[in-house]
Amino acid sequence: MYTDDELIKKKDIFDPIEDDDIIDWKYNPFDVDSTDGMEETPDQLLSQITFEGSPQLQAKLKALVQEFIDVFATKFRREPASVEPMKIVIDEDK
């Protein structure tokens, strides 16, 4: 796990952006300056998800989430996902 001294603070690399949208946040999810080392267990994560629909659908959805529970988190991870960068091409034929 990382200590606060090992983390790079967001304010040290990004300029502040004025919050001028109309979304009311209980807290700003992007204001993460440290990690506290407390990761949720799969059961804790699962308890925060609401499943709706028929009982059969809910059971299938819950099984699917349990199978891929490692992709769910309530905190940012230190290491980004290992995926190919997306390329967006606009007006390619011009």
DSSP one-letter string for 17-38: ----SS---SS-TT------S-
Question: Exposure pattern of 36-61 as b/e (b: 16+ CB <10 Å)?
Answer: eeeeeeeeebeeeeeeeeeeeeeeee
Q: Is the pTM of this model over 0.75?
A: no
Look at 62 and 29; give whichever has higher pLDDT. Answer: 62
Residue pair 35/75 in contact by the 8 Å Cβ criterion? yes
Q: Is residue 37 over pLDDT 60?
A: no
pLDDT digits (tens, 9 = 90+) for 49-66: 999 999 999 999 999 999
The average confidence (pLDDT) of the chain is 80
pLDDT over 90 (residue 72): no
Q: What is the pLDDT of residue 13?
A: 82
The answer to whether the CB of 73 falls within 8 A of the CB of 44 is no
CA 55 to CA 16: how far, in whole Å? 46
Q: Tokens at residue 55, please?
A: 């009982």
Domain extents in the chain: 4-71
